[in-house]
Chains A and B, each alone.
Chain A
């Protein structure tokens, strides 16, 4: 199954283009599911009809679904909720447990599970994810990494601790404060599910990100950094989609200055991203409903299959040659001063502006000293020496 992540700054038209892509892909014979992970859902607004937390048929081959954290949690975390409820029985009630679990951060997590659910049904060839604006999306992508670290270092320890303490505490009132085995099992299942999603997202053949922009300076600047963050997290962007380009016909009148500004930005977009760029012009009316969205897809992709992989490059590459090994990462829109690299044990810690990631090094590179770090815009090169 192909997974297409649509992200970009707020208001650029992510939802509209995600739906157009889904409808366009269906015309190429795919069965498509569109997921919205933005808590401020707008699939329904763009389709002009309701969409809910359960998959709903939009056309014969396209389904849409909004992820509502509350609904997902009710189903997914039953045993964890049950534990919390029991724990809080005397002082609180089910509502408190629910509130605890609806705390921010959870939304990102349940969104990731949904991608896996779509794959599991086996009913779809393509899953288009209409993501929240860039910031939240980055948090969503970082989540599996954070969880992996938590599980590897912390979780087993806690579980053992609980096992050890339980017999001692049974006689105390505090015995029930320790999570029971079911809790750990539920948590582990959840972790496995999230880890499967991580595998899907990191596989460039299956998953591609698409960045939606408008030709204005602030948006282009931010989108360059988003591209860099996606690279950093190992997610391949295969196209940049420029939405709402002013048509030339508005030429000389009130919009002449705006056209001038746009031309500069369109050039900057072409220069900035090492992937194909697709443009689509502003429409004379708002694009709402399947017919208008299908027409938009044709303008955007022509005869091409919108679910195709438009660029084959990988965001993080290991290259060997001349007796040396180097790791390369694409980081457009970033300056040298904003990058920090640190190898420690089996992990490589990277800090890029306000984004961070720990990458597990391949076996062959563990323990080898970093000989040099070079930034040849937009590519970061980390050179490894012999051990």
Chain B
């Protein structure tokens, strides 16, 4: 099953583009599901139909739904949530408020991933397309399984340890409800099983991210940073879609003459930055793109004869190399400021920081006993070279223009 995540800055037309891709794919015989993950849903608007958290059949082979985070969380982790609500109510907090507080941050992103995973496992579709929230949230979405794994499992273990020791003592002293074994079982399922599956799904070769842009430099700047972050977390992007290109006819308006020149420049920039990803473009239509026939036409303008579900391009991925010269890791990180790079070895993991974002990469066993020798950033690639034996864990970064 193919999974496509559509992302981009707010207002670029992600929803329309995702819906057009879905409509065209269904028209060409793929069993397709399109999911809106932006809590400010507008997918229903684009189809001209009202949508909800239940799957709705819109045409032959075309299903759509809008995720309701609260509902997903409730059905999946009802017990953990109930415990939190109980705990808060016990402290004299009103149920309405407790209910609110128990909806943990990150819940929207988690709900999206869980919902997509459930549909993927049902195997009823050849293609699932996710219309993501704007870039900031999308990054949170793709980093969530990893962050939660790295951080929250410690917290959980901690709480469990605390409950074990404190419970017998605490019963008499503090009458706070302590989590039951069921709560822990459910939380375990979340941390060790579900998050793992979600992570595997995101990293699967069947999953691609598509970045939607418009011919404006502010939008392209953000897309460029998004691509770096996606690379850092090893999410494979396969295409950049430039939406709302003004057609010849529109450029004849004197007012838009400058825009014509600017959009040609923007396209040049896309060509140079985003290769080897596929670069696609769609025109600004003369009317709102609403309803399935208009969406299919828009999809045709975008993909032509190409299969919209295909792997359209290949972004280079993280590589581990070992040869006579030594061992190294290559990570493509387009267009970053080398001064903002941080590379540290933490036990059997490599921590890479770019700007404010950090991620850890598990080192293969063959690298486990090695130490970082030097780190280089050149031609959009981060290369971390290793040597055998003891030594320091951090390394200075050498930037080569």
Contact = CB atoms under 8 A, between A and B. Distances in A.
A46 interface: yes
A265 B173 CA distance: 62
Contacts of B12: 11
A250 B94 CA distance: 57
A310 B217 CA distance: 32
B124 interface: no
Given A69-B356, A164-B174, A253-B253, A344 B40 contact: no
Given A10-B10, A146-B101, A222 B218 contact: no
B91 A255 contact: no
Interface in A238-268: 247, 249-250, 253-255, 257-258, 261
B121 to A, nearest CB: 26
Contacts of A218: 42, 45
Given A174-B161, A249-B254, A253-B253, A10 B94 contact: no
B389 interface: no
A313 to B, nearest CB: 26
A40 B222 contact: yes
Nearest to A154: B91
A22 to B, nearest CB: 17
A273 to B, nearest CB: 18
A163 B29 CA distance: 66
Given A92-B154, A132-B136, A104 B109 contact: yes
Contact of B174 (A45, A154, A161, A174): A161
Interface residues on A, range: 35 or more
Interface residues on B, range: 35 or more
Nearest to A150: B101
B134 A40 contact: yes
Q: Which of A11, A132, A358 counts the most B-chain CB atoms under 10 A from its CB? A: A11
Contact of A71 (B161, B247, B356): B356
Q: Is the interface of B mostly helix, strand, loop or mixed?
A: helix
Interface string B66-94: 00000000000000000000001001111
Nearest to A44: B221
B279 to A, nearest CB: 20
Contacts of B310: none
Interface string A206-231: 00000000100111001000000000
B252 interface: yes
Contacts of B162: 174, 177
B288 A261 contact: yes
Interface in A1-54: 9-12, 15, 38-40, 42, 45-46
B96 interface: yes
Given A257-B286, A349-B94, A99 B136 contact: no
A34 B216 CA distance: 23
A26 B161 CA distance: 56
Interface stretch (A119-127, A190-198, A284-292, A298-306): A284-292
A284 B255 contact: yes
B345 to A, nearest CB: 11
Nearest to B108: A135
Interface string B354-371: 011010100000000000
Given A11-B12, A349-B96, A358-B96, A135 B39 contact: yes
B169 A93 contact: no
Interface string A303-333: 0000000000000000000000000000000
Interface string B155-166: 101100110011
Contacts of B135: 40
B45 to A, nearest CB: 5
Given A133-B134, A154-B91, A347-B94, A165 B170 contact: yes
Interface in B312-337: none
B11 interface: yes
A95 B351 contact: yes
Contact of A172 (B11, B97, B165, B255): B165
Contact of A358 (B94, B257, B259): B94
B10 A133 contact: yes
B218 A42 contact: yes
Nearest to A87: B158
B192 interface: no
Interface stretch (B145-153, B200-208, B291-299): B145-153
Contact of A10 (B134, B216, B221): B134
Q: Which of B91, B93, B144, B257 counts the most A-chain CB atoms under 10 A from its CB? A: B91
Interface of A: 9-12, 15, 38-40, 42, 45-46, 68-71, 87-88, 91-93, 95-96, 98-100, 102-106, 132-136, 139, 146, 149-150, 153-154, 157, 161, 164-165, 168-169, 172-174, 177, 214, 217-219, 222, 247, 249-250, 253-255, 257-258, 261, 284-286, 288, 342, 344-345, 347, 349, 351, 354, 356, 358
Given A45-B221, A358-B96, 6 more contacts: A12-B11, A95-B346, A153-B91, A165-B170, A249-B254, A255-B250
7 contacts: A11-B12, A42-B222, A91-B157, A219-B11, A222-B40, A253-B249, A342-B96
